[in-house]
């Protein structure tokens, strides 16, 4: 296994550039960029080389990249075009770079980040270290509490509009009182005050479009048709996806995502009815059976572990 100290030229490797390096890029920086790569997807680029194939000859591959990158002779290869379906229909083209080019991009990102991050505005959250979509949403929520109006800009000028941030301190009535942002919809929500009084507050919760997309994703999984699988198999197949939904959409107003768990449980009931003949015509009994399984095996599904054992 190569380490950040020992990757270097071999008898089959290209010779290092003899002249002074045009860029001060250390081997350590390339190694750290390679570690970043391992946390991402394994999609191959135009050369069809996956991460698993790349690491077989990791030492030579990293040295070659460092040598070219630091000498200024690196030239990025073409990207692989992948059509991605749009929610509104049609497709858009995603360019997938090669594994080595993704590492090279990560090197550039690390160098520029150290220089430029300090001059960015504190309200700039996109592609910044230590910043996330949740930070942007929290800041937007805070601004909506402070200001009565939000200007929503869109590429299509007809979709640009003024949004009224209606809460318990706002007495005016307007037609537009919500807007979507990063998968959430900010709108007046029912809240309980410290004095146990119900009032309206302008808060983010999962948006309608995100709900529809999650519902489509659940349908595409065809859980009800996997009656040849055990609950452990189903758990391993869907655990990461469910955990991701909870981590992202459960950050704000988590009660709004309860319908997702009810929907998943409903598909699991249909799977039970297909798997066991005694439940084929008895939905209520299948529901009770799955509820007992959920209560006794809560760690199988993250939403069961959180107590969401209600069956549709």
In a domain, 147, yes or no: yes
- Across 42-51, 137-146, 250-259, least confident range: 42-51
Domain shared by 224 and 195, yes or no = no
Q: Which two tokens stand for residue 29?
A: 């920086």
Bridge partners of residue 76, in order along the sequence = none
Domain shared by 193 and 272, yes or no = no
Whether residue 128 contacts residue 136, with contact meaning beta carbons closer than 8 Å, is answered with no
More confident residue, 194 or 212: 212
Domain shared by 48 and 82, yes or no = yes
In a domain, 95, yes or no: yes
In a domain, 16, yes or no: no
In a domain, 128, yes or no: no
Domain shared by 74 and 142, yes or no = no
pLDDT at residue 8 is higher than 80 = no
The mean pLDDT value for 215-229 works out to: 89
Backbone phi, psi, residue 95, to 5°? -90, 120
Quote the number of domains for the chain: 3
In a domain, 43, yes or no: yes
Q: Percentage of residues in the chain with pLDDT exceeding 70?
A: 90
Three-state DSSP class for residue 208: helix
> How confident is the prediction for the chain on average, in pLDDT?
85
Domain shared by 110 and 148, yes or no = no
The domain boundary residue, chosen from 89, 119, 149: 119
Compute the distance between CA of residue 207 and CA of residue 88 in angstroms, rounded to an integer.
Answer: 16
Compute the distance between CA of residue 120 and CA of residue 100 in angstroms, rounded to an integer.
Answer: 29
Instruction: Specify the pLDDT at position 7.
Output: 67
Instruction: Specify the pLDDT at position 71.
Output: 86
Give the pLDDT band of residue 195 (cuts 50, 70, 90): confident
DSSP 8-state code for residue 118: G
Instruction: Specify the pLDDT at position 59.
Output: 92
In a domain, 22, yes or no: no
The mean pLDDT value for 297-307 works out to: 83
Compute the distance between CA of residue 161 and CA of residue 157 in angstroms, rounded to an integer.
Answer: 9
The domain boundary residue, chosen from 96, 119, 142: 119
Whether residue 191 contacts residue 204, with contact meaning beta carbons closer than 8 Å, is answered with no
pLDDT at residue 183 is higher than 90 = yes
The domain boundary residue, chosen from 87, 119, 151: 119
Instruction: Specify the pLDDT at position 38.
Output: 64
Is 0.85 surpassed by the pTM of this model?
A: no
pLDDT at residue 216 is higher than 70 = yes
| Structural domain boundaries enclosing 288 | 209-305
Domain shared by 202 and 213, yes or no = no
The mean pLDDT value for 224-246 works out to: 89
Domain shared by 138 and 115, yes or no = no
Domain shared by 63 and 110, yes or no = yes
The mean pLDDT value for 18-36 works out to: 77
pLDDT at residue 214 is higher than 90 = yes
For the chain, the C-alpha Rg in angstroms (whole number) is: 26
In a domain, 14, yes or no: no
Domain shared by 61 and 142, yes or no = no
In a domain, 282, yes or no: yes
Domain shared by 60 and 137, yes or no = no
Domain shared by 31 and 115, yes or no = yes
Domain shared by 32 and 108, yes or no = yes
Three-state DSSP class for residue 126: coil
Backbone phi, psi, residue 204, to 5°? -85, 145
């Amino acid at each position: 296994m190569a380490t950040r100290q020992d990757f270097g030229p071999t008898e089959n490797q290209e010779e290092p550039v003899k002249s002074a390096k045009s860029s001060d890029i250390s081997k350590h920086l390339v190694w750290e960029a390679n570690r970043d790569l391992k946390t991402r997807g394994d999609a191959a680029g135009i050369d069809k080389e996956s991460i698993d194939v790349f690491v077989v000859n990791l030492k030579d591959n990293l040295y070659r990249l460092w040598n070219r990158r630091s000498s200024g002779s690196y030239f990025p290869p073409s990207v692989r075009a992948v059509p991605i379906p749009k929610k509104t229909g049609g497709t858009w083209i995603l360019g997938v770079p090669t594994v080595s080019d993704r590492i090279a991009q990560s090197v550039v990102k690390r160098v520029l980040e150290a220089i430029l991050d300090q001059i960015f505005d504190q309200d700039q959250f996109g592609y910044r270290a230590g910043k996330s979509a949740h930070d942007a949403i929290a800041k937007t929520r805070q601004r909506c509490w402070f200001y009565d109006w939000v200007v929503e800009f869109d590429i299509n000028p007809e979709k640009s509009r003024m949004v009224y941030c209606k809460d318990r301190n706002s007495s005016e009535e307007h037609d537009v009182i919500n807007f979507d942002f990063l998968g959430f919809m900010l709108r007046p929500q029912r809240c309980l005050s410290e004095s146990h009084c119900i009032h309206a507050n302008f808060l983010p919760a999962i948006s309608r479009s995100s709900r529809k997309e999650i519902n489509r994703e659940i349908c595409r999984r065809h859980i009800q048709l996997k009656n040849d699988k055990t609950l452990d198999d189903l758990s391993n197949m869907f655990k990461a996806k469910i955990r991701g939904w909870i981590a992202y959409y459960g950050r704000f107003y988590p009660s709004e995502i309860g319908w997702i768990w009810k929907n998943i449980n409903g598909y699991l009931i249909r799977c039970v009815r297909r798997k066991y003949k005694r439940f084929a015509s008895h939905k209520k009994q299948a529901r009770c059976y799955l509820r007992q399984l959920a209560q006794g095996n809560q760690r199988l599904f993250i939403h069961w572990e959180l107590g969401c054992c209600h069956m549709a």
